[in-house]
Amino acid sequence: MPDLGSCIPFPLEEEALKEVISKAKDWAIMHGAALRSKVNFSEDSLQFAPFILLPTLFPRREFEKAVRLQPILNELMHWVAHDTEFLRETLSNTIKVDEFTRKLFEIYEKILADKDSTQSYSLGLLRSDLMLESCCTDKDNQRPYCCWKQIEINTIASGFGHLGPISREIQSFVLTELNHADKVKNLPQNNALAGLCEGMIEAWNLKGNPNAAILFIIEDVTYNICDQRFHEFYIRKMHPEIKVIRKTLTEVHQFGSLGPNNELKINDVEVTVVYFRAGYEPGHYPSQNEWDARYVIEKSTAIKCPSISYHLAGTKKVQQALAKPGILKRFITDDIKIKQITDIFTGLYAMDSNTDEGQTALRMVLTDPAKYVLKPQREGGGNNVYGHDIPNALQKMSDVERSAWILMERIFPPISKGYMIRPGGSFPPPLVDLVSELGIFGAVIGDKNAIVYNSHCGHMLRTKLEKSNEGGVAAGSGALDSPYLYDD
């Protein structure tokens, strides 16, 4: 794999490394670049989140292209979420076999059939994830020339609104400590936290009830607590009149109700905006109660982030359907925008057994599995099957089960070298081969007739060892990072 190089010469001298790592770890904890420990969990303490000591090179041209594209992707996802026929048709086979998607879909259909339901605006806080792919290495054999490709778009619980911007600050601190303060200007500003919170505040304003709260739907145990509390603290600081409450779906079932006009109440407090940081995986619904709670929220007039339709629009199956030739025209009229979106797609294939396309995809992956990733309709990491594990996984599935999966061409991003600093890590940390995934945030508000708010809001970079398949930070294999832009 081609190598992007590093922002300052490596390796670092051991004495300097020791001092700067020790400071950076303290800086991280003291600024909330932290998680709750999974091993020694306590609500009373935090551990620094794994981070890459220095920022990772990323081509400025591609970064700016991704930022420019985000409002267009927001627009696309908004119209996809509001196209009932498209969602029905696209997910029809999936919901036959995938129980989780089916449960979501049942709520979706029930609300559509309900004459008194008064759906208002929905709020999308999206994160478009992408990886660089090296197209060629220039003739001086310097850096590879890279373009980015889409991994997925998240429409629910898009994390790192706080951890993204704070990663830039840790690395700026480290660069300054190492006498490279002049390089900090190459780390782009990152307003993700403010941007995502402004989206929620905008939604709250649209509802116009000064006494209403914003409800965060949370997991039973929150490890990634800084990435939720900083949102809450930001909202409260900018708007002391807005109260944020946190409840699990189980608690919403216990304490939630609908008022006479379908307003959502938690005990006596009215809620006009609901922000889901849980609810994206089956484990978040241990019983029918949690599904009932999701239905009550959906039926309410509160602005949901996401609404069920946005949640469904974010499934892998929908992503695959959008990559089919000619489909984007249904949602976007401008040909230039369509071309810009099409350029970021990599090969995506249905795995249905009853279509030629599905049969062709099956033959392709069995011939050369290393080139592919097989994905089910799940979020949150750890569910995909990679490369040589695919044939075995496929063999265990019935034809019908297979149709709930999609096949994606694997992206092989360029490598960079760096130091990954983890809690309990040994010293000196080895200089390792790393690959990164950039996430661009967007906020969009609208209803079936119009989009009333559409903005790009910041970014996050996650970096993992080149050898690992996935790079979830809370899951333990990835680390916080931020892009260091270079011109090519």
| Backbone phi and psi for residue 259, each to the nearest 5 degrees, phi listed first | -80, -175
What minimum distance in Å lies between the beta carbon of 470 and ligand ADP? 4
Among 168, 247, 375, 456, indicate the residue that binds ligand ADP (CB under 6 A). 375
Picking from 131, 62, 80, the residue whose alpha carbon sits closest to that of residue 340 is 62
Give the residue at shortest CB distance from ligand ADP: 411
The CA-based dihedral angle spanning residues 117, 120, 121, 123, taken in that order and rounded to the nearest 10 degrees: -50
Half-sphere exposure of 153 (CA within 13 A, CB side): 35
By CB under 6 A, which span of 7-15, 135-143, 286-294, 374-382 interacts with ligand ADP?
A: 374-382
Q: Closer to ligand ADP at the Cβ: 124 or 471?
A: 471
Strands (E), 139-247: 144-154, 213-217, 243-247
Q: Closer to ligand ADP at the Cβ: 439 or 446?
A: 439
Burial class (CB in 10 A: 0-12, 13-18, 19+), 22: exposed
Cβ atoms of residues 348 and 340 within 8 Å: no
Q: Is 471 in the site for ligand ADP (CB under 6 A)?
A: yes
What minimum distance in Å lies between the beta carbon of 17 and ligand ADP? 27
Among 437, 445, 473, 474, indicate the residue that binds ligand ADP (CB under 6 A). 437
Q: Closer to ligand ADP at the Cβ: 303 or 385?
A: 385
- Element spanning 484, H or E: strand 483-486
- Distance, CA of 90 to CA of 150 (rounded, Å): 20
What minimum distance in Å lies between the beta carbon of 396 and ligand ADP? 20
Q: Is 410 in the site for ligand ADP (CB under 6 A)?
A: yes
Contacts for 92 with CB less than 8 Å, ≥ 6 apart: none
Helices 84-91 + 99-113 axis angle, to 10: 150
What minimum distance in Å lies between the beta carbon of 332 and ligand ADP? 23
By CB under 6 A, which span of 48-56, 139-147, 255-263, 370-378 interacts with ligand ADP?
A: 370-378
Q: Is 434 in the site for ligand ADP (CB under 6 A)?
A: no
Q: Closer to ligand ADP at the Cβ: 190 or 384?
A: 384
Query: How far is Cα of residue 286 from the mean position of the Cα atoms in its chain?
Result: 23
What minimum distance in Å lies between the beta carbon of 402 and ligand ADP? 18
What minimum distance in Å lies between the beta carbon of 164 and ligand ADP? 15
What minimum distance in Å lies between the beta carbon of 412 and ligand ADP? 7
Q: Closer to ligand ADP at the Cβ: 28 or 461?
A: 461
| One character per residue 130-159, x = contact with ligand ADP (rule: CB under 6 A) | ---------------------xx-------
| One character per residue 323-342, x = contact with ligand ADP (rule: CB under 6 A) | --------------------
**Total binding residues toward ligand ADP, as defined by CB under 6 A:** 17
What minimum distance in Å lies between the beta carbon of 409 and ligand ADP? 6
- Helices (DSSP H) in 373-452: which residue ranges? 390-395, 399-402
Half-sphere exposure of 72 (CA within 13 A, CB side): 18
Q: Closer to ligand ADP at the Cβ: 307 or 436?
A: 436
The interface with ligand ADP within residues 269-328 (CB under 6 A) comprises none
And the tokens for 464?
Answer: 């993992």
What minimum distance in Å lies between the beta carbon of 347 and ligand ADP? 9
What minimum distance in Å lies between the beta carbon of 375 and ligand ADP? 6
| One character per residue 380-409, x = contact with ligand ADP (rule: CB under 6 A) | xx-xx-----------------------x-
- Distance, CA of 461 to CA of 63 (rounded, Å): 11
Burial class (CB in 10 A: 0-12, 13-18, 19+), 449: exposed
- Distance, CA of 181 to CA of 282 (rounded, Å): 46
Cβ atoms of residues 202 and 454 within 8 Å: no
- Distance, CA of 140 to CA of 136 (rounded, Å): 12
> Which residues lie near ligand ADP (CB under 6 A)?
129, 151-152, 373, 375, 378-381, 383-384, 408, 410-411, 437, 470-471
